[in-house]
Chains A and B, each alone.
Chain A
Amino acid sequence: MTLETLGWQGLVVLVVFGISLLIATYCTYAERVIAAFLQDRVGPDRAGPFGIVQPLADAVKLFTKEEFFPSGANKALFIFGPCLAMITALMSSAVIPFGNILQFGETAIRLQGIEINVGMLYVFGIVSLGVYGIMIGGWASNNKFSLLGAIRAASQNISYELAMGLALIAVLMMSGSLSLRDITLQQSVPGEWHFWNIVKQPLGFIIFIVCAFAETNRTPFDLPECETELVGGYHTEYSSMKMGLYLFAEYVNVFVASAVMSVIYFGGFNFPFQYELREWLHSAQGLSVDAAQNIIVILGVVTIFAKIFAFIFFFMWVRWTLPRFRYDQLMRLGWTILIPLAIFNILLTGGLITTGIIPEIKQWWVSSPLG
């Protein structure tokens, strides 16, 4: 890797970082607007046109609030908790392929932070670390409600990680690769009908999305911050921007979970008839191969963000529609329904692959200019 490509890749990482934060910021606004829409209210409309600068007003409010440390709190860990929640939330977007390769003459820019051949395991590892921020913050608050919230978060995350991993194994059996870029490219083969993974893995997708709700602590699984039982759960004692970081980390997690689902099950940056469009741009419109390819790549970026926004909307839709589960119901759902279903899904996928109903994946891009 030359210094120039390294520089471009660094720029891509910075842009992904900025976009994650921007989307998380506007998720707070979207959440209120969608809640208002679903409850037939007006929602925030005071700050700027349609309330569009509401997130800035919120940030100013959070920054200017009093910093409060509860007595008997472990001060270092009390500060470390929200930082860790934010760090782990932001780390996982690094391996998400937001687009294919842009080609400018000799320079190739891959619209993905880092491409590693264990991309899926990386995301999974970071997601499993996400609970530390909540646990440490909840414990360091020296408050029984915070501690109960932290313990709930820990057991919930561990329980649902299992079903999530098992649902992913079924996808990996088909893809034969852990790289998220490979999994995206496999879902669209030029010149033939090829379906997204959702068609081959409907059961796996349902298991995965339920687990994603539990891992991001969103309603109906937001037991760690259950207001009706635990005051505010793990962030009861937090105020000011430390509280803001926890809320922010949740939205970044929602963004990353949406991105992962779009990539694994909904074809990532692929959209229907992209190769036909490229061919048309090249032959009928007289664009060069690179220019036609770059237009497809940019449309692909628009596509993946459309998919991500659709999933974020789904997260919010569910939040304002479904009531919260009871804790024992949550555990029973995870251990006695989702895990057996996921194991059944693995057996089913294995059977379908052996009988040839799910065709073998071709690594078509290895010998193609797209690779």
Chain B
Amino acid sequence: MSLFLFLSFVALLSALGVVLAKNPVHSVLFLILTFFTLSAHYLTLNAQFLAAVNIIVYAGAIMVLFLFVIMFLNLNEDTEPHKPALAKIAAAIAGGSLLLIMVAALRGVQPVGYDANTFNSQVGMVDQLGLVLFKQYSLPFELASILLLAAMVGSVMLGKRETGERNF
């Protein structure tokens, strides 16, 4: 329980850091820390595969690209574009209503206990997960893979060199 409290504390603190940091590079680093604490939560739930994949995909690949782009654009306080007041008010209203809905939806939730006699503690292990994914949920799995393939083909099309174009 104390481990959970500590991890949640760090997760919330670093998530706040993402929003409040003035420097975009600091924001990205806080976001990476947030992903690490989420992975630690997965580990405490005995979901090793999910924890490792979360680190590889989010912290290892996507956030490197984020950092890459931010470093390239050299964003800092001086070059920060100032948004009009209307956009700020609209964003505050949209975010506030999302918060309201989430609080309202989660207010009456009762945490469901589990039966210690029948609970399978190995459910998050990679072999169990593979069986569930390829037996029980094989159609959604295949559909998701087709979606990813389509996205990949699209990005290759966008990045392809046009006829006659030379960059170097």
Contacts and interface: CB of A to CB of B under 8 A. Distances in A.
Interface in A115-172: 116-118, 121-122, 124-125, 128-129, 131-132, 135-136, 139, 147, 150-151, 154-155, 157-158, 161
B168 A125 contact: no
Given A77-B25, A125-B52, A150-B71, A117 B60 contact: no
B11 interface: no
A279 B72 CA distance: 62
Contact of B71 (A131, A151, A157): A151
Contacts of B23: 74
Contacts of A40: none
B64 A117 contact: no
A174 interface: no
Nearest to B74: A147
Contacts of B61: 128, 158, 161
B146 interface: no
Contact of B56 (A117, A124, A151): A124
B70 to A, nearest CB: 9
B55 A118 contact: no
Contacts of A150: 71
Contacts, number: 65
B19 interface: no
Nearest to B130: A176
Nearest to B63: A132
Interface in A213-253: none
A128 to B, nearest CB: 3
B64 A118 contact: no
A101 interface: no
Interface of A: 74, 77, 116-118, 121-122, 124-125, 128-129, 131-132, 135-136, 139, 147, 150-151, 154-155, 157-158, 161, 178, 328
28 contacts: A74-B23, A77-B29, A117-B127, A118-B49, A121-B52, A121-B53, A121-B56, A122-B52, A124-B52, A125-B52, A125-B55, A125-B60, A128-B55, A128-B64, A129-B60, A131-B64, A132-B67, A135-B64, A135-B68, A135-B71, A139-B25, A139-B67, A154-B65, A154-B68, A155-B68, A158-B65, A161-B61, A328-B168
